[in-house]
Amino acid sequence: MNFFSILIALLLEQYRTVSAQAKVFALYDRYASSLDDLLNSGERHHGIAAWILAVVPVLLVFGTLNVLAGWVGVGLGWAIDVLVLTLVLDFRSVLNRLSTLQGDLRHMEREQVAERLGFPGPSAPALAEMVARGIELALIDIHTHLLAVLFWYCVLPGPAGALLYLMAMRLNRLWGSDTQTDFGHFSRMAFYWLDWIPLRLTALAFAIVGNFEDSLFCWRTQASGHRGSLRIILASAAGALGIRLGDSSTSNRVYGGLDLGVGEAPDIDHLRSAEGMIWRTLVLWLLIIALMTIAAMVGG
């Protein structure tokens, strides 16, 4: 049933408001912040306890619902899966942001676009830098809010996998960024291992649907030594698109002035190329999940 749940959730996500998802994430972030205020004394074991309290209760609630749904009937469990996926997946808004950026760069003042993309300073950066930033942010969101979520949804029963990955990601952003104490150590390590396989599957998918040789070349030569970094998918995507992401001449890049990829500096038309690659990647993943679902049904 995984494929059908995902397909329907993606269709319903077209009608879900961005604010609905933002409210769900904000509610969880407030819960995590309250645990931070209550337990954060800078010790590693307190970070472990806080992470467990932030994750396990949510998984228990939905695990219990999944068991109860199995008693009542398979239809209820399927409906819960669809509801959760519809709330947490993010595909439409990523593509909308790419389309909006393309139009804005053609018609709006670049200073406004630069501010929206997070560039500091009063003057707008070069067009290639703004295009690269927009593509980078879209690729990161597609990985963390779509592809990695789908991977863990297919690995663990019910919505547990999708929820586990998203909670670990948000806790890593809230707590893992604090390197002054050991409180965020466990959240960093937990997310590192949960993201280890999805990172590489996303990078491989970009290579398959794009320029395979250049993508693998950039992955191997420009992301070596970064086993748990989003640099892996950015290098792979840059090679797959035949462009450069990052700019070694400035620190105002998403990942610290990296110079990734091969080929030319990106222009406005490459935003459409990135959108096409994202579509092809999703179709590839859905095809693989459909084959796995059919195999499970036949084997069952």
Give, rounded to a whole angstrom, the gap between the first and last alpha carbons of the chain. 12
CA-to-CA distance for 95 and 97, rounded, in angstroms?
5
CA-to-CA distance for 49 and 58, rounded, in angstroms?
15
The structural domain count of the chain equals 1
DSSP class of 16: S
Three-class DSSP category at 42: coil
Sequence length of the chain is: 300
Q: What is the DSSP string of 125-158?
A: --HHHHHHHHHHHHHHHHIIIIIHHHHHHHHSST
Pick 27 or 73 by higher pLDDT: 27
- pLDDT above 80: residue 125: no
**pLDDT band, very low/low/confident/very high, at 144 (cuts 50, 70, 90):** very high
* pLDDT tens column, 87-101: 999 999 999 999 989
Closest CA to 165 of 89, 77, 63: 89
> What angle (nearest 5°) sits at the alpha carbon of residue 196, between those of residues 241 and 4?
75
Helices then strands, each counted (H, E), the chain:
13, 2
> What angle (nearest 5°) sits at the alpha carbon of residue 220, between those of residues 218 and 223?
75
Angle between helices 212-222 and 231-241 (to 10 degrees): 150
Query: How many other CB atoms are there within 10 angstroms of residue 298's CB atom?
Result: 7
Q: Give the lowest-confidence range in 179-183, 186-190, 270-274.
A: 179-183
pLDDT attached to residue 18: 84
Closest CA to 128 of 244, 231, 240: 244
CA-to-CA distance for 135 and 222, rounded, in angstroms?
18
Q: Which of 111-115, 245-249, 277-281 tops mean pLDDT?
A: 277-281
pLDDT attached to residue 89: 95
Q: Give the lowest-confidence range in 40-49, 111-120, 145-154, 281-290.
A: 111-120
CA-to-CA distance for 134 and 100, rounded, in angstroms?
10
- pLDDT above 70: residue 121: no
pLDDT attached to residue 224: 77
Once rounded to an integer, what is the mean pLDDT over residues 43-53? 95
- pLDDT above 80: residue 78: yes
pLDDT attached to residue 106: 83
Only one residue has tokens 């933002």, namely 22
CA-to-CA distance for 142 and 138, rounded, in angstroms?
6
CA-to-CA distance for 105 and 67, rounded, in angstroms?
50
CA-to-CA distance for 287 and 296, rounded, in angstroms?
14
- Provide the mean pLDDT of the chain: 89
**Phi, psi torsion values for 118, nearest 5 degrees:** 95, 15
pLDDT attached to residue 178: 79
Pick 47 or 256 by higher pLDDT: 47
DSSP class of 25: H
pLDDT attached to residue 255: 62
CA-to-CA distance for 270 and 266, rounded, in angstroms?
6
CA distances, 140 to each of 86, 133, 146, 252 (Å): 19, 11, 10, 17
- pLDDT above 70: residue 195: yes
Give the domain range for residue 293: 2-299
DSSP class of 256: S
CA distances, 204 to each of 14, 122, 273 (Å): 27, 39, 18
Instruction: State what percent of residues in the chain have pLDDT above 90.
Output: 60
